[in-house]
A and B are shown apart, each in its own frame.
Chain A
Amino acid sequence: MTSADPHPPLILLSGVVKRFATAAGEFEALRGVDLTVDHGEFVAVVGKSGSGKSTLLNMIAGIDRPSEGSIAVHGSSLGQLSEAQLARWRGLSLGIVFQFFQLMPTLTALENVQLPMDFAGRGAGPEAAGRARELLRRVGLADQADKLPAALSGGEQQRVAIARALANDPPLVVADEPTGNLDSATADQIFRLFEQLVAVGKTIVFVTHDRDLAQRASRVLEIADGRIVGDHLVGLSAASETS
């Protein structure tokens, strides 16, 4: 596939290898990953602890760089971007949701949602505040907008984090165990939010340990020892294997 393709995929990884230097020598966390994700897909990444799920997600989000191979997301070749360009690109192209919420503790929920707009230079005025308030309403937190994170429950904090991920209206949301720290009822709420987002055309890639949740995605990637060992489209009886 080339950039001349009229409908390039949203995410394209080819031959991605990631090595870490450890005390015991080099360790390959990813061992040659090829992956294509199209617009509107709802992708679950599963696998045992230490299999390389977070590493893969970090590659997609431009949080870490591959040792080998190339990554293109939302029309940008990540390898060619500087750290500063990468940050800008990230602000506009994707939203990140973390397992531990990672809200700024000294900013209110509303301000946390506004922060990416601020960094992207999309104004901090009343219209930005209006957009942030609307996003909080969509995650069901309109009343909690002016509270500090410490005054919110885990589920509420994660919903603020999702609203924040959507601040600049990116096409892609990546989430590393977004429900890992939540009870199952709260996790369900969060997951329903994801489903709504997919319904309006967002692409979501998330890591989970929960097989049931994974089955509610449209596609499940299974990782073992740094390789994609399974790639199922949920709802289709036949599994399409990739290697």
Chain B
Amino acid sequence: MRSGFRLAALAPRWRKVVRDLSLARARTFMVVLSIAVGVFAIGTVAGTRQRIARALDDSFRAIQPSNATLTTFTTFDDDLVSTVERMPEVAEAEGRRSLFVRVRAAGGEWRNMQLNVLPKDGLTRLDRVLPHEGQWPPPRRAMVVERSALGLVGAGIGEDVTVRTPLGKERTLRVVGTAFDVYALIFTIDGTPWGYIDEDTLAWLGEGRGVNELHLRAAERADDAGHIADVVAAVRDKLERDGRAIYYMTIPEPGKHPLDSTIQAMLLLLGAMGALALGLSGFLVANTAAAIMAQETRAIGIMKAIGAGQGQIGGLYAGLVLAYGALSLGVALPAGLAGTVWLSRLMARYLNLDLHGGVISLPVLALQAAVALLVPVIAAAVPIWLGTRITVREALNSYGLGRGQFGRRRMDRLLERLSGLSRPLLLGLRNTFRRPGRLMLTVITLTIAGAMFVGVLHVRASLGRTMDTLMQLYQYDVAIQLARPYRLERLLGVAQGVPGIREAEGWGFTSARHLGAERPQGPSMLSLSVPLIVFAPPAQSTMLRVPILRGRWLLPGDERAAVVSTAVLDDQPGLDVGGTIRLKLEGRDTSWTVVGVTQGLGPTPLIYVNYLPFSKVVEAAGQAQWLSVTLIEPSEAARQTAAKALESAFERAGLRISLVIKIDEERREALAAFDGIIALLLAMVGLMAIVGGLGLAGTTSLNVIERTREIGVMRAIGAGDGTLYQIILVETLTVALLSWLLGTALSLPLGWALGRAIGQSLLGNPLSFGLSLGGAAVWLGLEVVLVLLCSWLPARRAVRISVREALAYD
């Protein structure tokens, strides 16, 4: 024995543990892998959670977040800013300028963009923008683009874009770098890129001085949302007394990242997957331990016969399990670090976050060590206790054959009735049900793995289904938002002159203030209080189909009736169907009865009212600020062409457009909001495939390794290779199919519950449940392939060894 010297210091029983580890290499490999997959998953999940949480904290602290931002329609000067700053409730007030422009990259088309004006040094006091790549701060006659928005702009660093200002001036600016702005991502997701310029560039674009945003930090109780709302109300009143109409207010949830609810949904998913991986790992180990104890029956009998007590033997096997755990750490720690790097990068990319600091975290490593050492011991406790309880006589009489009586007769009778089954098939089936305890453990393990895999795919399908439902909203092909209301006939006349248009509809459109809003709260995706958008389509419009969650859609005769999105309800707790909502519309206080609630798509609170009452209230009868258009032959290309033609036709007619909306883009942008979650879900599916697949592989091969002696016996009584393979395959396939059925069944409630939780935190509503039959099919395929592979290899080994070896003491 080469290892004799090193082992000499160990008591003989611990030497047995070490030899068992090193001699039964296939077994050690499978057990260590079984534990390692769970520990790896835990490490990846915990490590990622920690890295993302730290990155969130860092990125948020670094920007000196404001408590609120007020944006006005018209610009104002620094005196007003100073007046606000002198208010006792306000610690800091900073005036900023932003403007909405149209932008076009070379060869691209016009799209909307928000340009933010920064001081010469690029450094603001609140809500800082941080340099990312290229030049910083933005130099004269150039712009820096927010890094998540580069793709939307369609130009890279060093390329030129054309900017058209609201006054119609066109200038060419070079994109010289990228920046990082915590608040930008939500606008990127909504399809509006953010860019940054300096004051000279602003003047060069022909825009006057003055600011239109007021960023505030409260003097006290900055973490009290109620107090902040009061401060903001006081500032708003001051601005309004000064004659400034508020365009919108942004009140982030105190101390929270703007994407907090998305992040919470992701962390929830991570946590759930971590917990499931832990449970799976536990069952995997229990299963493995039971297999090992079955193999060790004889050894236990001998040890008892020569004077070992149950405690001593139990300690010995607990030691073995601990050793497996320790070995698995060797695999799981580096794998967990790699997993953390991969998953946290993936999440950081979708969350527009910078990851700082190392990947190695002592608490996560400690957690992994605790899981690797404790979970196996806990999971193996029962199998070890049961295994060591066996009496010497039972242990030595049993040759690992024919044990287990429970259910055998009933099962046999059942099987015998299935006449026409071949002998090996019958044997394989009977073997499967011979040890119900072991069978149950194996099936539970594989069931959990399958349920996780398929369940996550159900969540993904549910997300898609929910999106589809929400997308039915848009029944038009192109829509145009105008800079101000125009006469309806004029708009329709121009639109009808454009080729390819089938129908055009003019809507009332405006932004409003929700007078009953108490404070921003609740799980809206943005945790921002943005202005309400009011749409007033003609009664029985065919251009939109609003999905109704509760109540009903507008009827032609409805006067002061409104259908509101869930985001509106968040602003006014207690508001629901039958309640009254008070809106400040074009400077007038109005009340509407809520008749229906719809699921909003984005963060913006939406309100739908009938055109007639709306135009009466805003005194714009016969006018419209929104035009929805359907095409004769709708297609993405047709919509592009029509949008361009409409834009130029309106321009020629002197109608000022503020937005052109193409439905395809709208759809893409809405879906993009869920890219992060979907990517995470897919990552989880991959992780589960690895964990579940390895679990399956380990369990199957252990089951066959356990059969070695039996295979020898069957061989001795004349079973040929084909027969042996057939018996083993029938047995393992039965287990695989059974657990596939159960796993697929269990995936339904699991996917439903996860979809509920994720929908709740993303949309404020459960996802509508979608089935992933493909997911179930893929898992079946994966299971069958793995089972065949993992039983074939050990079976081949078992079949190859001689009868004498198989029957010798294993």
B-binding residues in A (CB < 8 A) = 58, 61, 63-64, 83-84, 87-88, 90-92, 95-96, 98, 100, 102-108, 111-112, 114-120, 124, 129, 146, 149-150, 164-165, 167-168
Convert B433-453 into 0s and 1s, putting 1 for each residue whose CB lies closer than 8 angstroms to a CB of A. 000000000000000000000
A59: min CB distance to chain B, Å: 10
Complex Cα–Cα for A165 and B301 (A): 15
Q: Which of B8, B11, B809 contacts A118 (CB 8 A)?
A: B11
A104 touches B16 (CB 8 A): yes
B11 touches A124 (CB 8 A): yes
- Decide yes or no whether B557 CB sits under 8 A from chain A: no
| Besides the known contacts A98-B305, A105-B809, 15 further A-B residue pairs in the complex with CB atoms under 8 A apart | A63-B305, A64-B392, A83-B309, A83-B391, A87-B304, A90-B306, A92-B307, A102-B298, A102-B305, A102-B396, A103-B302, A104-B299, A106-B20, A106-B23, A108-B4
Complex Cα–Cα for A114 and B810 (A): 21
Residues of B within 8 A of A105 (CB): 808-810
Residues of A within 8 A of B15 (CB): 107, 111
Residues of A within 8 A of B8 (CB): 129
B306 touches A116 (CB 8 A): yes
Residues of B within 8 A of A83 (CB): 309-310, 391
B19 touches A106 (CB 8 A): yes
Complex Cα–Cα for A83 and B391 (A): 9
Interface size class of B (residues with CB under 8 A): 20 to 34
A122: min CB distance to chain B, Å: 10
- Decide yes or no whether B167 CB sits under 8 A from chain A: no
Within 8 A of A (CB), among B1-50: 1, 4, 8, 10-13, 15-16, 19-20, 23
A102 touches B809 (CB 8 A): yes
A119 touches B391 (CB 8 A): no
A96 touches B311 (CB 8 A): no
B294: min CB distance to chain A, Å: 16
Across the two chains, which residue of chain B brings its CB closest to A174?
B305
A84 touches B309 (CB 8 A): yes
Most chain A beta carbons < 10 A, residue from B11, B20, B310: B11
Task: Knowing A87-B310, A115-B12, A124-B12 are in contact, say whether A104-B302 is a contact too (CB < 8 A).
Answer: yes
- Decide yes or no whether B303 CB sits under 8 A from chain A: yes
B16 touches A107 (CB 8 A): yes
B8: min CB distance to chain A, Å: 8
B305 touches A61 (CB 8 A): yes
Residues of B within 8 A of A91 (CB): 306-308
Across the two chains, which residue of chain A brings its CB closest to B24?
A106
Complex Cα–Cα for A87 and B303 (A): 9
Complex Cα–Cα for A112 and B308 (A): 13
A-binding residues in B (CB < 8 A) = 1, 4, 8, 10-13, 15-16, 19-20, 23, 298-299, 301-312, 391-393, 396, 808-810
Provide 8 A-B residue pairs closer than 8 Å at the C-beta atoms, listed in order of the A residue: A87-B308, A103-B302, A103-B809, A107-B15, A108-B4, A116-B307, A149-B809, A165-B306
Q: Which of B10, B305, B312, B393 contacts A90 (CB 8 A)?
A: B305
A102 touches B13 (CB 8 A): no
Most chain B beta carbons < 10 A, residue from A63, A88, A164: A63
A164 touches B20 (CB 8 A): no
Complex Cα–Cα for A124 and B8 (A): 9
Across the two chains, which residue of chain A brings its CB closest to B298?
A102
A130: min CB distance to chain B, Å: 12
Complex Cα–Cα for A193 and B122 (A): 97
Residues of A within 8 A of B306 (CB): 90-91, 95-96, 115-116, 119, 164-165, 167
Residues of B within 8 A of A104 (CB): 16, 299, 302-303
Complex Cα–Cα for A186 and B194 (A): 93
Most chain B beta carbons < 10 A, residue from A102, A103, A150: A102
Complex Cα–Cα for A146 and B19 (A): 14
Q: Which of A58, A84, A114 contacts B393 (CB 8 A)?
A: A58
Complex Cα–Cα for A102 and B648 (A): 95
A119 touches B303 (CB 8 A): yes
B13 touches A118 (CB 8 A): yes
Residues of A within 8 A of B309 (CB): 83-84, 87-88, 119
Residues of A within 8 A of B4 (CB): 108, 146
Residues of B within 8 A of A90 (CB): 304-307
Residues of A within 8 A of B809 (CB): 100, 102-103, 105, 149
Residues of B within 8 A of A103 (CB): 302, 809
A151: min CB distance to chain B, Å: 11
Complex Cα–Cα for A44 and B156 (A): 97
Across the two chains, which residue of chain B brings its CB closest to A85?
B309
Complex Cα–Cα for A58 and B397 (A): 12
B808 touches A108 (CB 8 A): no
Complex Cα–Cα for A58 and B808 (A): 23
B305 touches A106 (CB 8 A): no
Residues of A within 8 A of B308 (CB): 87, 91, 119
Residues of B within 8 A of A100 (CB): 809
A64 touches B307 (CB 8 A): no
Across the two chains, which residue of chain A brings its CB closest to B18?
A106
Task: Knowing A64-B391, A115-B12 are in contact, say whether A168-B307 is a contact too (CB < 8 A).
Answer: yes
Residues of A within 8 A of B392 (CB): 58, 63-64
Residues of B within 8 A of A120 (CB): 307
A160: min CB distance to chain B, Å: 12
Across the two chains, which residue of chain B brings its CB closest to A148?
B1
B665: min CB distance to chain A, Å: 68
Q: Which of B10, B19, B305, B311 contacts A84 (CB 8 A)?
A: B311
Residues of B within 8 A of A64 (CB): 391-393
Task: Knowing A83-B310, A87-B310, A108-B1 are in contact, say whether A102-B302 is a contact too (CB < 8 A).
Answer: yes
Q: Which 5 A-B residue pairings sit nearest by Cβ, starting from the closest?
A: A91-B307, A124-B11, A106-B19, A119-B308, A84-B309
Complex Cα–Cα for A83 and B307 (A): 11
A243: min CB distance to chain B, Å: 27
Across the two chains, which residue of chain B brings its CB closest to A64?
B393
A115 touches B13 (CB 8 A): yes
Complex Cα–Cα for A87 and B392 (A): 10
Residues of B within 8 A of A87 (CB): 304, 307-310, 312
A15: min CB distance to chain B, Å: 21
B808 touches A114 (CB 8 A): no
Complex Cα–Cα for A63 and B23 (A): 30
Residues of B within 8 A of A167 (CB): 306
B79: min CB distance to chain A, Å: 89
Across the two chains, which residue of chain A brings its CB closest to B23?
A106
Complex Cα–Cα for A129 and B9 (A): 11
Task: Knowing A58-B393, A63-B305, A119-B307 are in contact, say whether A150-B1 is a contact too (CB < 8 A).
Answer: no
B752: min CB distance to chain A, Å: 48
Complex Cα–Cα for A97 and B808 (A): 17
Complex Cα–Cα for A174 and B16 (A): 25
Across the two chains, which residue of chain B brings its CB closest to A129?
B8
A107 touches B307 (CB 8 A): no
A204: min CB distance to chain B, Å: 16
Complex Cα–Cα for A63 and B301 (A): 10
Complex Cα–Cα for A168 and B301 (A): 18
Across the two chains, which residue of chain B brings its CB closest to A101?
B809
B297: min CB distance to chain A, Å: 12
Complex Cα–Cα for A165 and B306 (A): 7
